[in-house]
Amino acid sequence: MSTHDTGPVVRARGLTKTYGSFTALDAVDLTFEANRIYGLLGRNGAGKTTAMQLLTGQIFPDGGTVEVFGRTPAEHADVLSRICFIAESQKYPDQFRPSHVFASAPWFFPNWDEALAAELIAEFRVPLGRPIKKLSRGQLSAVGVIVGLASRAPLTFFDEPYLGLDAVARATFYDRLLADVAEHPRTIVLSTHLIDEVSNLIEHVVLVDRGRILIDADAEEVRGSATTVVGTRGTVEAFVTGRDVIGRDGIGGLASVTFTGPLHPTERREARELGLELAPVSLQQLVVHLTGTEIPTEKEVVS
Ligand SMILES: Nc1ncnc2c1ncn2[C@@H]1O[C@H](COP(=O)(O)OP(=O)(O)OP(=O)(O)O)[C@@H](O)[C@H]1O
């Protein structure tokens, strides 16, 4: 352990990545604390993979700084040995079989747990002797997920590797992840589109959109941060006047408007008395509202 271990696990400031004239990541600040589960969320092309590649030293920033365990990741082998990055389309040597992947994993990951890997191999039904090239998409995803879990790396990134998994296998992954992290605390970063599925897993939300951070907050805080109010149009519009509206929908005389910000108990009572229905907004709905198309005005919804 060094003195660097007392600070955050990841600290990025002004992180910028450009591809030609396109800015994939635009002056992003990120801080990941030890032993938390982070959800890196955002639409296709938002910049999630780019951010993870920068944090793991696979690509270099055009601006800003990255420190992982207090050091620049690419230049320090001891830092890299504490990072596990599982990508959706992991590449393996041509002749590799899953047995080779699991046999070589301990060379890269000092905390590798052989027994856990064996359990997961059985649970995910990975055919150990089949050439990697012949595996189904789900089986290939399972190989990645097993490496990510059994590596027990202090900082583990899962870049949507579980997309190929069926619903049962995904549930297994989520359960195993939670159980193992409870026993062996470490920092996990999950990037995913399946927000509802992971919303109970995530402790901290980082929402990326077009290379910028839209939300960087405690998941609990984010979950309670938006409300949808439904009722007759005039009443709903009067109720949301002056609020930060992030979504509008409606049909005929009915309106459904989503807004962010706290709601006082007296305002809740007032809504009930006005015959309005209030519903909390799920993390997934919130992300859709914040990263979707522009919010229509009341007039556009009516017409
Ligand atoms: N090597 C590259 N050259 C040019 N553009 C790139 C390159 N790598 C990424 N980009 C662009 O940068 C943007 C961010 O890509 P990134 O892969 O980080 O998105 P993402 O949030 O991971 O998306 P997805 O959810 O679809 O995987 C995209 O518009 C992508 O096309």
Residue 57 belongs to domain with CATH number? 3.40.50.300
Burial class (CB within 10 angstroms; exposed 0-12, middle 13-18, buried 19+) of 196? exposed
Q: Which residues span the domain enclosing 45?
A: 3-221
- Quote the ligand 1 centre to 193 CA distance (angstroms): 15
Note whether 174 and 65 are same-domain residues: yes
**What pTM does this model have?**
0.89
Residue 1 reports pLDDT greater than 60: no
Indicate the residue among 221, 246, 269 that finishes a domain.
221
Indicate the residue among 186, 221, 256 that finishes a domain.
221
pLDDT one-digit tens code per residue, 83-135 = 999 987 778 888 899 999 999 999 999 999 999 999 999 999 999 999 999 99
47 lines ligand 1 (CB under 6 A): yes
Minimum CA distance residue for ligand 1 atom 3:
19
pLDDT band at 140 (very low <50, low <70, confident <90, very high): very high
Report the CATH number that the domain containing residue 278 is assigned in CATH.
Answer: 3.30.70
Note whether 71 and 146 are same-domain residues: yes
Note whether 135 and 65 are same-domain residues: yes
Round the average pLDDT of the chain to a whole number and report it: 91
Would you state the structure tokens that stand for residue 206, as one six-digit string?
A: 């980082």
Note whether 212 and 272 are same-domain residues: no
Alpha-carbon distance of 80 to 54, in angstroms, equals 12
Note whether 126 and 267 are same-domain residues: no
Give the number of other CB atoms < 10 A from CB of residue 171.
12
Indicate the residue among 204, 221, 238 that finishes a domain.
221
Note whether 145 and 53 are same-domain residues: yes
Q: Which atom of ligand 1 is nearest to the CA of 42?
A: 21
Q: Which atom of ligand 1 is nearest to the CA of 160?
A: 27
48 lines ligand 1 (CB under 6 A): yes
The three-state DSSP-derived secondary structure of 234-259 is HHHHHHHCCCEEEEEEEECCEEEEEE
Which stretch of 94-103, 161-170, 223-232, 246-255 has the lowest confidence by average pLDDT?
Answer: 161-170
Ligand 1 pocket check: which of 17, 18, 22 to mutate, most ligand atoms within 8 Å of Cβ? 22
pLDDT band at 301 (very low <50, low <70, confident <90, very high): low
Secondary structure letter of residue 78 according to DSSP: H
Note whether 99 and 165 are same-domain residues: yes
| b/e burial code for range 242-263 (CB count within 10 A of at least 16 → b) | ebebbbbebeeeebbbbbbeeb
Note whether 54 and 149 are same-domain residues: yes
Note whether 296 and 186 are same-domain residues: no
Residue 303 reports pLDDT greater than 80: no
Count structural domains, the chain: 2
- Quote the ligand 1 centre to 50 CA distance (angstroms): 6
Report the phi/psi class of residue 20: left, alpha or beta, with left for phi > 0 and alpha for psi in -120 to 50: left
Note whether 200 and 245 are same-domain residues: no
- Of 246, 202, 243, which Cα lies nearest the Cα of 222? 202
Note whether 160 and 63 are same-domain residues: yes
What secondary structure does DSSP assign to 194-248, as a single string? Answer: -HHHHTTT-SEEEEEETTEEEEEEEHHHHHTSEEEEEEEHHHHHHHHTTSEEEEE
Q: What is the pLDDT of residue 3?
A: 41
Note whether 44 and 160 are same-domain residues: yes
Residue 212 reports pLDDT greater than 80: yes
- ipTM rounded to 2 decimals: 0.95
